[in-house]
């Protein structure tokens, strides 16, 4: 009987876990969304914690890593790695949890939620390839790369076979050349945007080096 009651309580806790925008709107805000992904920004002050909420599979880009404790519906607790740095990308499965900032500094994160099931290995698209980028995280849904370049530097021509999410670690001012069609791309530090599939090269038009996280959907 006791086991049955515990199971029912756990089931109810899970079913009550909700969209973070609805149950923790002061700590999460919507950045961008389409039929494939939803991009959120999360902010937690030192000592703050969220209500129980749910995410599908995600990639989380740490902008101000802080120290995070996640409490699951069954009471299990997980703690973030002590060596997380700005630009660390975590690939996490679908889950419900309470997030708590157990550190002494504010925590800021960009969360890319994947709305659809991951493609099969045979159907998955290969991430774009450029000498200025290096893979830093992998999941069944996406590949995350850290792209960087000095002022005036250019990437080689490469292809984003599916949509990508850009997260700027620095201010970015670039000229995009898509088969001769040129346009400007401007991003402020700590912002994110969804980019469409495309083959292009890019030139850093800014006066300083840049770092950009590129999350390519498979």
Query: What is the per-residue pLDDT across 173-195, written as a single tens digit (0 to 9) for each?
Result: 999 999 999 999 999 999 999 99
Superfamily of domain 133-217: Jelly Rolls (2.60.120.10)
Q: Report pLDDT for 185.
A: 97
Write down the CATH number for the domain with range 2-114.
2.60.120.10
Alpha-carbon Rg for the chain in angstroms: 19
Angle (nearest 5°) at CA 141 between 66 and 119: 165
Percentage of the chain beyond pLDDT 70 is 92
Q: Report pLDDT for 66.
A: 82
Residues of each domain in the chain carrying CATH 2.60.120.10: 2-114, 133-217
Band of pLDDT at residue 129, cut at 50, 70 and 90: confident
Mean pLDDT (the chain, rounded): 92
For the entire predicted model, the pTM comes to 0.90
d(CA 190, CA 37): 18
Beta bridge partner(s), residue 92: 58
Question: Rounded to the nearest 5°, which phi and psi values hold at 13?
Answer: -60, -45
Query: What is the per-residue pLDDT across 71-103, written as a single tens digit (0 to 9) for each?
Result: 999 999 999 998 899 999 999 999 999 999 999
């Amino acid at each position: 009987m006791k086991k049955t009651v515990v199971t029912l309580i756990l089931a109810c806790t899970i079913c009550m876990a909700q969209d973070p925008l609805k149950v923790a709107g002061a700590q999460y805000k919507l950045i961008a969304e389409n039929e494939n992904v939803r991009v959120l920004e999360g902010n937690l002050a030192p000592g703050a914690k969220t209500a129980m909420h749910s995410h599908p599979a995600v990639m989380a880009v740490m902008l101000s890593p802080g120290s995070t404790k996640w409490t699951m519906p069954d009471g299990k607790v997980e703690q973030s790695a002590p060596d997380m740095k700005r630009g660390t990308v975590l690939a996490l499965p679908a889950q419900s949890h309470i997030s708590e900032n157990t550190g002494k500094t504010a925590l800021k994160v960009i969360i890319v939620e994947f709305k659809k099931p991951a493609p099969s290995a045979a159907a998955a698209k290969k991430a774009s390839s450029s000498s200025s980028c290096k893979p830093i995280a992998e999941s069944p849904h996406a590949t995350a790369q850290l792209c960087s370049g000095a002022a005036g530097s250019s990437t080689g021509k490469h292809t984003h076979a599916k949509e990508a999410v850009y997260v700027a670690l620095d201010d970015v001012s670039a000229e995009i050349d898509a088969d001769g069609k040129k346009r400007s791309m401007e991003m402020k530090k700590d912002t994110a945007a969804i980019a469409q599939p495309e083959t292009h090269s890019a030139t850093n038009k800014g006066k300083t080096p840049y770092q950009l996280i590129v999350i390519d959907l498979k």
